[in-house]
Amino acid sequence: MGSDNKTSLREISTTITGKTRGAAMAAENVRVGYGEKIILSELSLEIRRGEITALVGPNGSGKSTLLKGMARLLKLHSGTVFLEGEELTKMANSEIARRLAVLPQAPTAPAGLTVGELVEQGRYPHAGPMRMLRKQDHEAIGRALELTGTLEFANRPLENLSGGERQRAWIALTLAQATPVLFLDEPTTFLDIGHQLEVLELVGQLNREQGMTIVMVLHDLNQAAQYAHRMVVLRKGSIVADGAPAEVMTGEVLEKVFNIKAHIVTDPASGRPVFLPYAVVKNEEVGRGQ
């Protein structure tokens, strides 16, 4: 970044070792996609410990692909992912599950499963032989239910909850894993605005009070700017902007990446940037500016 806080719209190429001090996770030169179709090529990203990082970008930019590749939900064609300094491919699934929790898009559960039964599953990486839950496991389940405000729903079937309540139950599952790192893939999708803010407030609380490192894919740029310490903007499989919301939320980024013209104002309550779109940029205008 320059001293003028403007983000240059170029592909960011970051050299990292995967064992950088303060890094919770790191991706080095990863190449990943679906089958033969490569979405991300030679991409590197470091996730700093104790921060909320928001991955943003247009549809098809590679946000969820990056999250899945770093979580080993998608097999890398090449490159390396490190979790707390260790290569992910050399770690057992049970060890990864004790360090990294992942909430995918639109998760599903068997019909009739109660909230309590769902959250219990988060303790299986820690449970004893035959997945027998011990005292410490039940305590962790109780804490997860309390933190997410779902204790009163523990005996209710998941399908009987509202969208926001259900999403909080899924987050309780990930909390029961008691991992230092949490990945959330579009946690606010299909929720109304009240439930979206409810989930994002919970994410902020987990970061502040539990010290969790959180990476989440978001579509709403204003929400990302309000709740994240850092925004990583992707376009066509490359990182084109990376920094604090005030550095990333610029007219240049919005115009070149999202094809909109917007006013950037400061939220008087949070001091974070908010954009107010007023025009769509035609493709030929974007082409001339590149």
Q: Is the pLDDT of residue 18 over 80?
A: no
Single-letter amino acid code for the residue at 139 = E
The predicted model gives 25-43 an average pLDDT of 94
pLDDT at residue 21, rounded to an integer: 52
Give 153's contacts (C-beta < 8 A, 6+ positions apart). 115, 161, 165, 169
pLDDT digits (tens, 9 = 90+) for 172-192: 999 999 899 999 999 988 888
pLDDT-above-70 percentage for the chain: 88
Domain spans of the chain, in order of start: 110-179
Q: Is the pLDDT of residue 204 over 70?
A: yes
pLDDT at residue 20, rounded to an integer: 52
61: closest CA among 191, 216, 237?
237
pTM score, two decimals? Answer: 0.87
pLDDT digits (tens, 9 = 90+) for 220-256: 999 999 999 999 999 999 999 999 999 999 999 999 9
The predicted model gives 114-127 an average pLDDT of 90
Single-letter amino acid code for the residue at 232 = V
Q: What is the mean pLDDT of the chain?
A: 88
